[in-house]
Amino acid sequence: MPLQNETFLQACRGERPAHTPIWLMRQAGRYMPEYRAVRSRVTFNQLCRSPDLCAEVTLQPIDGLGVDAAILFSDILVVFDALGIDVRFEPSPVIATPVRTEAEALALRWGDPHEHLGYVFDAVRACKRALADRVPLIGFCGAPFTTLSYLVEGQTSREFEKIKGMIFSAPKVFAGLMENMTSLLCEYLRGQVLAGVDALQVFDSWAGALSPADYREHVLPHLARLVHFTRGLGVPLILFVRGNANLLALAAELPAEVIGIDWSIDMDQAIAVTGPNRVVQGNLDPMLLLGPAELVERKARACVAAGRAAKAHIFNLGHGISRHTDPAIARHLVEVVHSA
Ligand code: 1CP
């Protein structure tokens, strides 16, 4: 069944649709009153485990903003269900039993995501039904390093002292955990594709914790395995490696169809790295949306203009939208990009 709005998938294929497609990272979230209304009735964990509510929330920015793609409402940390490890959102994530020693790493039980994460696949099916082929649905996971950073740090970290300490003092323990995490994430993404997602995004949100040389040595081989695995799933992949523009050249070595660009580099500079034959996604600083409409318009138009040097451009923010964003300015951004 063809989609009513194919612009996002056309851009993923390197085509230039009639307008630049746009979606926003974290487009379903606390900045939207409709989302807060749902969240006032359930906890975040309950929401992620209720396929019908996930579908309702996934569609809120489709109806409310007019974006060209939906992203499954879930979280990168639900995969810990496959390890039997609880995450509480307070509201920042907290893992009660972090894994820091070799003994703790060896004691982990790596369960099958097809068995433990069925509610995510049910949510994908509920989203696809609710979308009724209006726009494509993006599935996602955290990259092996970002996901593992939560397991080792036990929470969002500033310095990444525990996981970097593990990389440098016990590299074999780290590599073993990365190996298992990557296998888990491969199967998790396969489950999402089997359930019906039209594209995938891998978020390496905390990649910038490492120097490029250490990222290449300790992380890139695992990320490469994940990217190569997904090439066999038949849907396009967006690879978003965030936090240090010097990592962009490494990300661009991998065969993802689309390279996500964060806001730490200007789009023309990013395309100089990825080259004219690559599709890029990004990269407006999300905090710009806290400024006046004229500023948002000017910066958005400049980003669209710069994006014309790439093979194709999917407009997005350079990281997740702030919870303090006025939904009206997000809606305005979508109109500006569509008319640019
Ligand atoms: O109280 C609430 O309602 C919880 C807030 C919230 C939301 C709306 C969390 C907790 N996660 C989400 C949804 C979410 N998370 C999506 C939904 C789809 C969308 O609309 O985009 C996605 C794709 C994520 C992915 C995610 N979760 C990432 C990677 C993307 C990124 O922003 O870098 C990360 C790092 C997380 C962890 C996480 N989940 C939630 C929080 C508060 C955090 C920590 C993030 C941090 O500390 O900065």
Cβ-based neighbour number of residue 156 at 10 Å? 12
Ligand 1: residue whose CA is nearest its atom 33: 205
Share of the chain above pLDDT 90, in %: 99
Q: Quote the pLDDT of residue 105.
A: 98
**100 ligand 1 Cβ < 6 A:** no
pTM (2 decimals)? 0.97
d(CA 227, CA 3): 25
User: What is the pLDDT at residue 295?
Assistant: 98
Distance, CA 302 to ligand 1 centroid (Å)? 28
Q: Which residue CA neighbors atom 13 of ligand 1 most closely?
A: 75
Angle at 281 between CA 136 and CA 142, to 5 degrees: 75
Q: What's the whole-number mean pLDDT along residues 70-79?
A: 98
Q: Which of 14, 3, 116 is nearest to 70 (CA)?
A: 3
Average the pLDDT over 84-102 and give the result.
95
pLDDT surpasses 80 at 168 = yes
* Confidence band, pLDDT 50/70/90 cuts, at residue 2: confident
Which of 13, 16, 26, 225 is an active site residue? 26
1 has a pLDDT exceeding 80: no
| Cα separation values, 164 from 85, 111, 145, 183, 236, Å | 22, 26, 11, 21, 31
Catalytic residue among 31, 49, 81, 150: 150
Q: Check pocket membership of 240 for ligand 1, CB cut-off 6 A.
A: no
Q: Catalytic residue, from 30, 88, 100, 134: name it.
A: 30
